[in-house]
Structure 1
Amino acid sequence: MIERQHQNQFFLLSDERYSELDYTQFFQPDYWQKQGRVSGTAKGRGTTYFLQTADLFGVNASLRHYYRGGLWGKIIRDRYRFTVLSQTRSFAELRLLQKLYLAGLPVPKPIMAVVEKGKLGICYRADILMEKIENAQDLTAVLQHQTLPPEIWQQIGSLIRQLHDLQICHTDLNAHNILLQQTATGQKCWLLDFDKCGEKSGDFWKQGNLERLQRSFHKEIERMKIQFSTQNWQDLLTGYHNHQI
């Protein structure tokens, strides 16, 4: 990981080769639009931009700005209190992604992050660039139209176990943060959205993490009419408990 500073902006690059690029412009959507590299967008709290960047980073990318949720998000939309650089939202997420990526977990390839401090140095805004997973949908979108075989549920369970074995707690583990990708050899599961996630000691929290995921499936049965059964959950647990390190 390479850190760079330009005036009040701090950059974290996952590869030293990226420092040779015009990376200070990479967090401006207009920069990519002028080059005709924006391939699509997705709406959430803000807009995520999907970029054609395979020639630059080896993969196409997604650009995401950090926004607050809840009540604070209505008052202070995208500013956070600055303490130390390593604990800013984008730097912390990029470093965690790098750790998981190098460990071989199916997570988006980390590319780079930026933190822009305000004039007084009290608050900051942040953005992150990471790999866009191609030919993929989140699990809820898939389950609205089809059931999944036991081996896919077991793959999901195994993936979560790998995360837990690394002592990483995904604090927002839900059905929307699991992607199912169609590949030439079959279907592959990915984990997304590691904002505010991190290492956690002990094992006491792992069961609760699984139960959070289970609740999210039950919630989407009601809200999105997804196809999810008790047997699906049992298959997921089989994958979790039978995973071999």
Structure 2
Amino acid sequence: MVHLDVRAQGATYFISPPITSSHEVSSKLFNPQWLEAQALIEGTAQGRAAAWFIRLKDEQLVLRHYRRGGLPARFSNDRFLWIGLRRSRPWRELSVLSRLHALGLPVPVPIAGRVQKKTVSYTADIITRRIPGARSLADFMLASYFGDTHDQNARDDIWRETGRVIRAFHAIGAHHADLNVRNILIDEQRKVWLIDWDRGRLNAGAAIQSRSMARLRRSLSREAELESIARQGWPLLMSAYSRGP
């Protein structure tokens, strides 16, 4: 069981793991408008969860606002049913990240979360440490496809390392709920990371992990260039995955 520190201000809860509880967590840190006014935002990213890249003193952070996907988003794009703080999205993601980080697995360092309760629903945000210089597996492979400096051996090595890293997570029962080609990052040292652990969990069985791999393969097939690259790269990834870390 992972311990998380909680500080309440009315119906707002600030959550932080002990490893990062020294950070000054306030509502301002979760406010993109305030951060922008202070010139602390270095960039943004859009997806199911909006994200802002923040530089706070000498530290690079990522602020993500939780959003809903699929059919529920038609009714509310960022409100979730309140069933208790310990079952909120930030609490669960911070718990999983804290455990994986403690095990030495390549995930972003969890910093803090915020939950704003609104009667029977809540909105939420999470802050993690940014991985400097990292880009997605998709961007890494597409850069190669369009003539970047990566040679074939480098690309093959990344496919294999990705398979080994995913296997390391699966070996301890970790399940990434949205494993796709954009949630796998390659840093400047070509280390592979898994990010965005919303709805991730531990103690997952082989069947769930198999579906996760199928989801990753589908994410590659959605773009013609990536599918072309994956025809050669995917067997390398799966071979390394099968052998284990």
Could you state the TM-score of these two structures normalised by the residue count of structure 1? 0.87
Q: Is the 8 A contact 2:14 2:25 kept in 1?
A: no
Q: Does residue 145 of the first structure (1) align with residue 143 of the second (2)?
A: yes
Q: Tell me what 1:243 maps to.
A: 244
Q: Is the 8 A contact 2:141 2:155 kept in 1?
A: no
Q: What is the one-letter code of the residue matched to 1:238?
A: S
Q: Tell me what 1:228 maps to.
A: 229
Q: Tell me what 1:110 maps to.
A: 110
Q: Is the 8 A contact 1:144 1:226 kept in 2?
A: no
Q: Is the 8 A contact 1:9 1:114 kept in 2?
A: yes
Misfit runs of 4+, over 3 Å: 15-20, 224-227
Q: 1:156 aligns with which of 155, 162, 165?
A: 162
Query: How many residues get paired?
Result: 234
Q: Does residue 210 of the first structure (1) align with residue 213 of the second (2)?
A: yes
Q: Is the 8 A contact 2:6 2:13 kept in 1?
A: yes
Identity %: 31
For residues 34 and 51 of structure 1, the distance between their equivalents in structure 2, rounded to whole angstroms, comes to 12
**Cα deviation code 1:118-155 (max 9, x no counterpart):** 1x2x1000000011122121111222231553221111
Q: Is the 8 A contact 1:47 1:64 kept in 2?
A: yes
Q: Does residue 172 of the first structure (1) align with residue 172 of the second (2)?
A: no
Could you state the TM-score of these two structures normalised by the residue count of structure 2? 0.87
- Stretches of structure 1 that go unaligned for 5 or more consecutive residues are none
Post-superposition offset of 1:16: 6.5
Q: Is the 8 A contact 1:144 1:227 kept in 2?
A: no
- Stretches of structure 2 that go unaligned for 5 or more consecutive residues are 146-153
For residues 23 and 162 of structure 2, the distance between their equivalents in structure 1, rounded to whole angstroms, comes to 38
Shift of the 54–235 alpha-carbon distance from structure 1 to 2, 3 Å rule, reads farther
Q: What is the one-letter code of the residue matched to 2:211?
A: G
Post-superposition offset of 1:227: 4.4
RMSD, aligned CA: 2.1
Secondary structure of 2:207's counterpart equals coil
Q: Is the 8 A contact 1:140 1:226 kept in 2?
A: no
For residues 176 and 219 of structure 2, the distance between their equivalents in structure 1, rounded to whole angstroms, comes to 14
